[in-house]
Structure 1
Amino acid sequence: MKKLLPFLIISVFVSIIVTVFLSLASQNKMIVTIKNNTKKLPIKMQINKYQDSDCGMLIDNMEYISQVISPSAQTWFFHDHGGFVKWLEDKEFKDEAIIWVMSKDTKQWVDARDAFYSLIDKTPMGYGFGAYEKKAFGYVNFDTMRLRMLRGETLNNPHIRKQLLGNK
């Protein structure tokens, strides 16, 4: 029984978290996805109305938001660019998806594949990838950002964090 106790405690904790997220979603009528975005343009978002499609958290900050639109015109929302990379990886339409990211420098929606990415921004999930329309020293392109995310080379990795930020 003692060996099962930690498993039971973790299971109860996870169940409580899932229940809280589901109840918040139903109470606030949070938007998880939008269908029929036939123009395939970014949808105007409001704080605390959309749910991140990767982690399920409420999107309460518009600084690092992104949207993925499938060929069938369905749109998903994310509050950290690393999240859409992880979420999109196993989707059949990953190469055909239209991806919009909010640019930190111009405050405009930018095609994710044309954006440049900082590796050291303080993002909601801690991945560190801030999107920018204009290239600056140290920024990487979409393919490099995607590869770093999939390899786990984010600020959540203590070795990468130390490499990029030193002892901060």
Structure 2
Amino acid sequence: MKKLIPILTIFVLIAIVVTIFLSMSEQKKMVVIHSGNHEKKPVDITLNHFQDTQCGMTITTKENSAQVVSADGKTWFFDDVGCMALWFENIDFKDEATIWVYSHDTNRYINGRTAWYSRVAKTPMSYGFGAYEKKKDGFIDFNQMLLYMLRGENLTDPYVKQKLLGK
């Protein structure tokens, strides 16, 4: 009997750990794709419950976030405009996609295709593209932002960072 006590203790501890992990996974069902958005409006996301489709990060703030809606009402979420740009390059419904980006100057989701982008914003993945509704000097349009992102000309490149920020 004395030899069984350590083995039983180990099994009990394993059972407790498994139970804890299973209960945590049930509580934190992350949303990566939302279906049924046939109006193609921005989805009201729950912070810390939605996950970036490109990088897998949890979306902890609406600032810098983006959403892409397909014609069939599926919505994908991003914590950084740069992540959206990387993902956007590889989809086959680019022309039909509705793009929403969270605006720094109006604090709401705006059309990503008509937004203006700063190249030096502090963003979750450090790409630097902050969306704005109103144009200011030095801002770029959607197509320029995509081009800079796809060429790697963003703040993650030390040479670009030096040029843009002097750091």
Q: Which TM-score tier does this pair reach, normalised by the shorter chain?
A: 0.7 to 0.9
Deviation at 1:26, TM superposition (A): 5.5
Aligned-pair RMSD on alpha carbons? 1.4
Name the CA distance, whole Å, in 1 between partners of 2:25 and 2:148.
Answer: 31
**Which 5+ residue runs of structure 2 have no aligned equivalent?**
1-22
Q: Deviations over 1:39-67 (max 9, x none)?
A: 00001112101000011111112111110
Name the CA distance, whole Å, in 2 between partners of 1:103 and 1:51.
Answer: 19
Deviation at 1:109, TM superposition (A): 1.1
Name the CA distance, whole Å, in 2 between partners of 1:134 and 1:66.
Answer: 17
| Aligned: 1:96 with 2:96 | yes
Range 143-152 or range 86-95, more displaced: 86-95
Report the count of equivalent residues.
Answer: 145
Name the CA distance, whole Å, in 2 between partners of 1:24 and 1:149.
Answer: 36
| 1:134 corresponding residue in structure 2 | 134
**Which runs of structure 1 show a deviation greater than 3 angstroms over 4 or more consecutive aligned residues?**
23-27
The structure that has the greater radius of gyration is 2
**Which 5+ residue runs of structure 1 have no aligned equivalent?**
1-22
Q: Deviations over 1:77-117 (max 9, x none)?
A: 00100101101111110221100001000012110010000
TM-score by length of 2: 0.83
TM-score by length of 1: 0.83
Report % sequence identity.
Answer: 48
| 2:12 corresponding residue in structure 1 | none
| 2:57 corresponding residue in structure 1 | 57
